[in-house]
Amino acid sequence: MGNDTSQIAYCGLNCDECPAYMATLSGYKYSKEKIAQEWSKIYDADISPEDINCSGCNSKKGIHFSHCYECSIRLCAIERSIDTCADCEEFACVDLKDFFELVPEAKQNLEKLRNKGPGPNI
């Protein structure tokens, strides 16, 4: 995980390490083209460079990668008005447990936040 100024998504992903987030911040067209090609192969999907946009999962405004709009974890966290799933009374729900199987770093990030207790969102 990054430092204490990292932007942690609802699910525990570190946005500062997300290629779509970084490409959006940089504005480099080449980065978006490369990521679109890689993700199209990995996910067997038709992803265009125009799809590679994200202002961070937790941002209510701005642009997001298309999956963000259908992500059950993100939608649940927004509905519950929590900063991350670490703040949820039902941590870790079935959706999170399944996600943690794919991305164990996300679980580590959220557990670190839970261990800090209540306080400002990082």
Is residue 8 situated within a structural domain?
no
Range of the domain at 43: 15-115
Is residue 120 situated within a structural domain?
no
Domain count, the chain: 1
Is residue 34 situated within a structural domain?
yes
Residue 14 backbone dihedrals phi, psi, to 5 degrees: -95, 105
Is residue 36 situated within a structural domain?
yes
3: pLDDT confidence band, cut at 50, 70 and 90?
very low
Which percentage of the chain shows pLDDT scores above 90?
45
Is residue 51 situated within a structural domain?
yes
**Mean pLDDT along residues 50-62:** 83
Provide CB contacts within 8 A for 33, sequence distance 6+.
49
Which tens digits make up the pLDDT trace of 70-116?
A: 889 999 999 999 999 999 999 989 999 999 998 899 999 999 999 88
pTM for this entry: 0.76
